[in-house]
Structure 1
């Protein structure tokens, strides 16, 4: 049950019409968290560097998503 809730939180891939966080946004957030633990300077995936603008957009989406969930829980 918890796995299904977690998968609903992540949502679908960018090409689909599913809701929630997209899998690419989740991947960027995950890689950013890994970067913080390993003290690397850049977020890299498949030998490509992810720009700080993309990371900030992913964090903004997460912030709005968490605020929405928080408001729903308080209502």
Structure 2
């Protein structure tokens, strides 16, 4: 998908891993993830201004990275 673009090979692999992990989620886990994403976005938009959009992006990327580990552990059980 990113071939010939600016993304590194590592970034492309991470992207593919995250998309696969999202596809592997069951309905309850997917809903929980969406609730977390919405909560963070709502805090940026409606909070007291201390939680900045840059931190939100960093936190969301971290959550999706953790998702890959979560789905791998779940498959191993």
Provide the TM-score with structure 1 as the length reference.
0.39
Structure with a larger share of its residues in strand: 1
TM-score normalised by the chain length of structure 2: 0.39
Which structure: larger Rg? 2
